[in-house]
Amino acid sequence: MKLSIKNMVCQRCIMVVKQELEKNKLTAETVQLGEIIFKEEPSEDQLTALKQGLTAHGFEVLDDRKAMIIEKVKNIIVTIIHSTDEVNLKRNFSDIIAQQIPVDYNYISSIFSTTEGITIEQFIILQRIERVKELLVYNELSLSEIAYKLGYSNVQHLSTQFKKITGLTPSHFKSVKENKRKSLDQL
């Protein structure tokens, strides 16, 4: 049995879900962003208790097919942008999404835009900008290294997109030293 979960955006979320599974004496084959795959099907009581525990932590169990697809798309994008060393833009996100979700990409794109109010491309841009903010705050990489790491064609492209989204240049953002980042679950 597979259970789709909304708002799982990081490794800490996976840890919290695993703790809820243990608390409810459930064994999962795998727990990954947006998904639990059970070894054995849980009882109705166990499932109800698990859903309540997950809801208390800000997660939502998805029963709707469209919501599951949208959450899967978000998790694919978040994983690529926030968990890989370099974002390879030689491969389109649309190709990656189409490979991992066996549904027509135009349908995926349409339901994403309708439900979320932004396109998949806009969501990708927002995720990339949040990753840029994170890397600027860490202050370990130069702007050109960040541009390369996140697959921007050049520093100017990154700077222009950053200013359009945040209203600040990357160097001004870096000098402000305030935490202007949003947590992934707030995007």
**Full pLDDT tens readout for the chain, 187 residues:** 888 898 888 889 999 999 999 999 999 999 988 889 998 888 889 989 999 999 999 998 887 888 889 989 999 999 888 877 766 655 688 999 999 998 999 999 999 999 899 999 999 999 999 999 999 988 888 999 999 888 888 999 999 999 999 999 998 888 875 555 566 656 5
- Looking at the structure, tell me whether residues 48 and 79 fall in a common domain: no
CA–CA separation, 83 vs 105, rounded Å? 23
- Looking at the structure, tell me whether residues 34 and 98 fall in a common domain: no
Q: Could you tell me the CA-to-CA distances from 186 to 9, 127, 173 in Å, in that order? A: 10, 11, 20
Q: How many domains does the chain have?
A: 2
- Looking at the structure, tell me whether residues 40 and 96 fall in a common domain: no
Start-to-end C-alpha separation, the chain: 29
- SS3 string of 135-158? HHHHCCCCHHHHHHHCCCCCHHHH
- Looking at the structure, tell me whether residues 46 and 71 fall in a common domain: no
CA–CA separation, 70 vs 146, rounded Å? 28
Looking at residue 167, its pLDDT comes to: 93
Residues of the domain holding 86: 64-187
CA–CA separation, 170 vs 139, rounded Å? 12
- Looking at the structure, tell me whether residues 7 and 24 fall in a common domain: yes
- The CATH number covering residue 122 comes to 1.10.10.60
- Looking at the structure, tell me whether residues 104 and 53 fall in a common domain: no
- Looking at the structure, tell me whether residues 121 and 179 fall in a common domain: yes
- Looking at the structure, tell me whether residues 105 and 139 fall in a common domain: yes
pTM summary value: 0.72
- The CATH number covering residue 15 comes to 3.30.70
Residue that terminates a domain, selected from 45, 62, 79:
62
- Looking at the structure, tell me whether residues 85 and 163 fall in a common domain: yes
Strands annotated E in the chain: 2-6, 28-32, 35-38, 60-62
